[in-house]
């Protein structure tokens, strides 16, 4: 398992704008992108409420912390977790493709928006029931609270 990060992308989605603001870092000459560069982008995009990713707490956040990137747990929102909750009988929950940072960001945004529409369409009592099972301080708990 390597601590080398070859690419990193982050986006801020603005209300009433169809396309997100995306920034990307690509390593050159086999070097790893360092924590200072990634923290710089995270600070630039710090107006966002959540850091959304597919399996972010179990993979991305761990890798980023290993190289010294500062991430809190309370603002991580996992689209894999949302997928498992909303589509429990689905046999596959992976993001398809080559797993390139920019493309994964775009896929996550699309996935998040589709889940967002579904959560917002649910009756309030159903969202409240899901919220009762969550830690209210977690990313998912804060997201469900916002959906109410």
- pTM for the complete prediction? 0.83
Q: Is residue 48 very low, low, confident or very high in pLDDT (cuts 50, 70, 90)?
A: low
Round to whole Å and give the CA distance between 116 and 105.
16
pLDDT for position 138: 80
For residue 51, how many other CB atoms are within 10 A of its CB?
Answer: 21
H helix intervals, the chain: 35-44, 60-66, 79-86, 101-121, 124-132, 139-147
- Please state, rounded to an integer, the average pLDDT across all residues of the chain: 87
* Tokens standing for residue 131: 């919220």
pLDDT for position 20: 85
């Amino acid at each position: 398992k390597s601590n080398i990060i070859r690419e990193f992308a982050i986006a801020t989605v603005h209300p009433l704008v169809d396309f997100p603001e995306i920034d990307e870092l690509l390593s050159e000459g086999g070097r790893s992108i360092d924590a200072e560069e990634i923290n710089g982008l995270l600070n630039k995009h710090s107006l966002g409420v959540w850091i959304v990713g597919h399996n972010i707490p179990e993979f991305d956040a761990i890798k980023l912390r290993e190289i010294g990137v500062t991430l809190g747990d309370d603002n991580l929102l996992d689209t894999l977790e949302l997928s498992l909750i909303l589509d429990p009988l689905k046999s596959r929950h992976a993001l398809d493709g080559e797993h390139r940072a920019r493309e994964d960001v775009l896929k996550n945004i699309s996935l998040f928006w589709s889940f967002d529409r579904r959560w917002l369409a649910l009756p309030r009592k159903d969202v409240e029931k899901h919220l009762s099972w969550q830690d209210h301080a977690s990313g998912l708990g804060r997201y469900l609270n916002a959906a109410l």
